[in-house]
Every structure is written in C-alpha cells, then in structure tokens.
Amino acid sequence: MSKPLIVKCPICKSLVERDNDYFPFCSDRCKTNDLGNWASGVYTIPDSQAHDFDDDESGTIH
C-alpha cells in the first residue's frame, strides 16, 4: 500500500530503506559514527567550566 521510503545515510550517503534496522543510517557502524560526532564535540555542548571561565574573562575585559 505504501512504497518503501528510501533515504541517504547521513554518514556515508548510501541509500537506506525504511525497514532497515538502523534507519536512517545504513548500518550499525554509521549509527555509531553519528553518535561519535556528539561525543567528540563536533556539535557544540555547553560546558560548566567554560561558562565559569567566560564569566571571569568578561570582568577582565571591562
């Protein structure tokens, strides 16, 4: 009744079908790779130490 949805894996750009266990990734490796991007700081993550340092530095500048 519905056609299979196919997307491109965000990691390696391979075609991935909707019924893939790792959708929208093509494989467990690519799924882990994406999670690794978060863990390694590719995406910005607020840091309490950085916030504390920023507060101290703003006082120095002004």
Least gap, CB of 3 to Zn ion (angstroms)? 22
User: For Zn ion, which stretch binds (CB under 5 A), given 13-21, 36-44, 47-55?
Assistant: 13-21
Q: Check if the beta carbon of residue 9 is closer than 8 Å to that of residue 1.
A: no
Q: Could you say whether residue 31 binds Zn ion (CB under 5 A)?
A: no
Q: Which of 6, 12, 42, 50 binds Zn ion (CB under 5 A)?
A: 12
- Neighbouring residues of 31: CB distance < 8 A, sequence distance ≥ 6: 22, 25
26 binds Zn ion (CB under 5 A): yes
Distance CA 18, CA 16 (A): 7
